[in-house]
Amino acid sequence: MSNERRRIKQEILQALMHPEAEEGLYFRNFYHLHEEDERPVVQGEEVEILDALKELIDEGLVDISDGGKEAVFSLKEQALAH
């Protein structure tokens, strides 16, 4: 795994651990922050972020729910011990 992919995955996990992400984040929330947002941004192209999210899902660290208009990504409990 490249250092770039490793960094993006770590930034995703940090964003999902932030209190603002308690109920999960939409994909766009990883790279687009509003002025009032305090969570860290994920640096990378959309396709790189998507690939890293897929790996984190496959590793069992991130969950995806598709209940609404947009998918919501959230941290699985075992990721906190990771």
Under the banding of pLDDT at 50, 70 and 90, the label for residue 72 is: very high
Instruction: Give the amino acid at 69.
Output: K
The pLDDT assigned to 43 comes to 93
Per DSSP, helices labelled H in the chain are 3-17, 28-31, 46-58
Per-residue pLDDT tens digits for 11-52: 999 999 998 889 999 999 898 877 887 888 899 999 999 999
Pairing of strands 25-26, 62-65: unpaired
Give me the CATH number covering residue 69: 1.10.10.10
The pLDDT assigned to 80 comes to 61
Tally of domains in the chain: 1
35 lies in some domain:
yes
Per-residue pLDDT tens digits for 59-69: 999 999 987 78
Q: Count the residues in the chain.
A: 82
Q: Is the pLDDT of residue 82 over 60?
A: no
Q: Which domain holds residue 58?
A: 3-77
